[in-house]
């Protein structure tokens, strides 16, 4: 029998009291962490694909084994679907079937790839952030995507963004950060997937966790 996932534990019971400060501070300076050499190589390779394709792009950032990216590539045959994950082990555990021709899974760090892709103006139509690491300890706010200095590049990528998590506070904070950083209004909703899109969604749904999502049109 599959192990049930225990409920997430955090020392935070509502959105972080420093959220407003952190998001505003990141808006006021240019994030200049040097790019890893391998990020340039990985980006150049996918950038060539994006330019050659010439059509709309779907990003699945933190794609894990790419299960959702496979499904999206089947559902959107006229889009180029790019799944990015920093873990070689996760990418190597991709579903055991031939990848659709419009799908590419890439090992890469979103902190670098997003900045490079935003500068290159990729034509992103949809962007999925499916169950990002929640970093539930209060001291880890800046590791959550909305508390990270790369947040403005994530917004600059544009497209229809969908975030899913089993931690409501993560999604609520993300929604507040969208409002602060870009005056984007979004709703946080609880939902039940008809068919799980990812391994984490399957695990959480099977363990009876409530699931939350936010969808917003950027740019």
Ligand X SMILES: C[S@@+](CC[C@H](N)C(=O)[O-])C[C@H]1O[C@@H](n2cnc3c(N)ncnc32)[C@H](O)[C@@H]1O
Scan residues 163-202 and list those touching ligand X (CB under 6 A). Answer: 198-201
Q: Which stretch binds ligand X (CB under 6 A): 4-12, 69-77, 95-103, 107-115?
A: 107-115
Binding of ligand X by 105 (CB under 6 A)? no
64: contact with ligand X by CB under 6 A: yes
**What is the b/e burial string over 100-131, where b = at least 16 CB atoms within 10 angstroms of the residue's CB?**
bebbbbbbbbbbbbbbbbbeeebebbbbbbbb
Establish how many alpha carbons lie within 13 A of residue 16's alpha carbon, considering only the half-sphere containing its beta carbon.
Answer: 26
Distance, C-alpha 96 to centroid of its chain? 23
Mask for 119-158, x = binds ligand X (CB under 6 A): -----------xxxx-------------------------
Nearer to ligand X, 84 or 169 (CB): 84
Q: Which of 46, 103, 111, 155 binds ligand X (CB under 6 A)?
A: 111
Asked if residue 110 binds ligand X (CB under 6 A), the reply is yes
Give buried/exposed letters for 40-61 (b at 16+ CB in 10 A, else e).
eebbeebbeebeebeebbbbbb
109 DSSP 8-state letter = -
Examine residue 90 and tell whether it contacts ligand X (CB under 6 A): yes
The CB-of-61 to ligand X minimum distance in angstroms stands at 6
Q: Which of residues 17 and 191 has its CB atom nearest to ligand X in the complex?
A: 191
């Amino acid at each position: 029998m599959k192990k049930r996932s225990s409920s997430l534990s955090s020392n935070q019971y509502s959105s972080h009291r420093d959220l407003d400060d952190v998001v505003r501070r990141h808006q006021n300076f240019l994030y200049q962490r040097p790019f890893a050499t391998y990020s340039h190589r990985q980006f150049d390779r996918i950038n060539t694909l994006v330019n050659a394709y010439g059509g709309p792009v779907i990003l699945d950032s933190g794609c894990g084994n790419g299960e959702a990216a496979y499904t999206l590539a089947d559902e959107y045959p006229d889009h180029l679907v790019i799944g990015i994950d920093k873990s070689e082990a996760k990418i190597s555990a991709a579903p055991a079937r031939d990848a659709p021709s419009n799908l590419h899974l890439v090992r890469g760090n979103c902190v670098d790839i997003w900045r490079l892709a935003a500068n290159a103006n990729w034509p992103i139509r949809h962007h999925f952030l499916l169950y990002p690491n929640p970093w539930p300890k209060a001291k880890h706010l800046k590791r959550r995507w909305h508390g990270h200095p790369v947040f403005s590049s994530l917004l600059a990528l544009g497209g229809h963004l969908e975030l899913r998590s089993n931690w409501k506070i993560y999604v609520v904070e993300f929604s507040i950060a969208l409002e602060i950083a870009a005056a984007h209004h979004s709703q946080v909703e609880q939902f039940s997937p008809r068919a799980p899109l990812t391994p984490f969604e399957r695990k959480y749904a099977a363990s009876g966790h409530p699931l939350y999502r936010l969808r917003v049109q950027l740019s």
